Amino acid sequence: MGYIEPAPIVDHENPFESMMSRFKIASEILGLDEEIYNVLKSPAKQVAVSLPITMDDESIRVFEGFRVIHSNILGPSKGGIRYDPAVNIDEMKALAAWMTWKCAVVDIPYGGAKGGIICNPREMSSGEIERLTRAYTMSMFEIFGPDKDIPAPDMGTGPREMAWLMDQYSRAVGHTTISVVTGKPLVLGGSLGRTEATGRGVMVTTLAAMEKLRINPYGATCAVQGFGNVGSFAALLLEERGVKIIAISDLSGAYYNKDGLDIEKVIAYRDANKGTLEGLADAEKIARNELLTLEADVLIPAATEDVITVKNADKIKAKLIVEGANGPTSYKADSIIHDKGIVVIPDILANAGGVTVSYFEWVQNRQGYKWTRERVNRRSDRIMKDAFEKVYETAVKYKVSFRIAAYIVAIDKVAKTYKYRGGY
Ligand code: GLU
């Protein structure tokens, strides 16, 4: 006897708690009224549905789907739909709130929402995914709408799913309604520049941060975790601006080359290789987690939540972390990283390029007009740079991290709007 097992280190692996902890700090600095804090701390609406689907083998499987609307104070709620086995209501609540803050940081007139279905699209046929998407759309028919709640792609979904969603919604209302969803294929009212928009915003904010830190992009080194829509375009666009991408990763592993990878070639390889980097040539295969702690100037986590935690934060060697994913850093890791002097450009700023171009898509759909790629890129770059400067100035003013500064900018805007709108 006498042996007491040491208490385990409890990290905030729950993304909703991670979001709330930062929200609380920013609210206190801002001196937010308690009433408004209470309004913003809980989601406005949470919907859970069960979706019975006939599978290809004629069995019936029941899937669980969610849509969480965190806020519609600034306008119709906006946010992606995630198809992933790890989807759960807490994650949806955090992601929905992050959408509220994200839209407010880049100053676009939307509230925040997020949806998801617990499923593994990698193991489903295209027909099964289509039936699931149509069933989900019908279950959420009362929620979605061009002036109410506008979905978009997220992990596990893309233009194909958005096209089915648009078609199903349009059938139900009786006329084609392209502005009900963004991230659609180009021929169906999608916007030029939407596919690469999140990665492009990551590139713009990375370069802006490098300038402040006096890191020359030419020859600077960068590791990118995740090679999906966000990571691959961020890597490609940064490489085009002289940054050496020394490591990338996907579910198959991480791939390292100290002289820099040729990202255009890597993308072509992935596309011809069923979407995976498995077997990539001209690179050394390393453990997936090793990528996060490599010697590199910049680290871009662009995969999923809670990958930088108390378990690895003290081993990170990058000078700058730019969060391409939503919530890649746990709350408890924040202070470890801060104490090491590492600058973090937070998710709600760094990856807001996607929703910004979603907004442009929605505007074009409502105008019945198509903008050129040049116009889309010019306007989104301007929005991202302005948002970066505003967050930077706020960080200097309050002597806080970029993350807390971004929350301050966002919460201040939503709270002021709420005061003007009033309530019952
Ligand atoms: N799912 C993306 C995000 O997390 C895009 C959302 C949107 O375009 O509405 O920002």
Q: Cα–Cα distance between 284 and 267 in angstroms, integer?
A: 17
Token code pair at residue 247 = 């490591």
pLDDT digits (tens, 9 = 90+) for 117-162: 999 999 999 999 999 999 999 999 999 999 999 999 999 999 999 9
CA of 329 relative to ligand 1 center, distance in Å: 18
The verdict on 178 and 237 lying in the same domain is no
DSSP character for 256?
A: E
- Is ligand 1 within 6 A of the CB of residue 79? yes
Left if phi > 0, otherwise alpha if psi is -120 to 50, otherwise beta: which for 71?
Answer: beta
SS3 call for 250 = strand
Same domain, 139 and 275: no
CATH number at residue 283: 3.40.50.720
Which of 132, 149, 183 terminates a domain? The answer is: 183
Rounded to 10 deg, the angle between the 197-213 and 373-398 helix axes is: 40
In the predicted model, is pLDDT for residue 39 greater than 70? Answer: yes
Q: How far is the CA of 361 from the centre of ligand 1 (A)?
A: 12
pLDDT at 169: 98
Instruction: Give the pLDDT band of residue 11 (cuts 50, 70, 90).
Output: low
Helix (H) or strand (E) holding 114: strand 111-117
Ligand 1 proximity of 326 Cβ (cutoff 6 Å): yes
Beta strands in 19-110 (DSSP E): 45-54, 60-71, 77-83
Q: What mean pLDDT do residues 100-104 have?
A: 98
On whether both 69 and 116 belong to a single domain, the answer is: yes
Q: Is the CB of 354 under 6 A from ligand 1?
A: yes
If asked whether residues 109 and 53 sit together in one domain, one would say: yes
Task: With cut-offs at 50, 70 and 90, classify the pLDDT of residue 18.
Answer: confident
67: closest CA among 21, 102, 99?
Answer: 99
Residue 67 falls inside a structural domain: yes
Report residue 359 as tokens.
Answer: 């907004």
Kindly report the CATH number assigned to the domain that includes residue 92: 3.40.50.10860
Read off the pLDDT of residues 59-83 as tens digits, 9 standing for 90 and up: 999 999 999 999 999 999 999 999 9
Smallest CA separation from ligand 1 atom 9, residue:
79
The verdict on the CB of residue 151 being under 6 Å from ligand 1 is no
- The enclosing H or E element of 222 equals strand 221-225
* Position 37 in a domain: no
CA separation for the pair 388, 409 (Å, rounded): 11
Question: Residue range 241-265: average pLDDT?
Answer: 98
Same domain for 335 and 209, yes or no, is yes
Number of domains, the chain: 2
Nearest-atom number in ligand 1 for the CA of 81 is: 1
Q: Decide: pTM greater than 0.85.
A: yes
Residues 208 and 175 in one domain: no
Asked if residue 152 belongs to a domain, the reply is yes
Q: Whose CA is closest to 23, among 407, 417, 412, 410?
A: 407
Per-residue model confidence as pLDDT tens digits over 338-384: 999 999 999 999 999 999 999 999 999 999 999 999 999 999 999 99
Active site residues: 114
Q: Is the same domain home to 169 and 277? A: no
Using 50, 70 and 90 to split pLDDT, how confident is the model at 13?
low
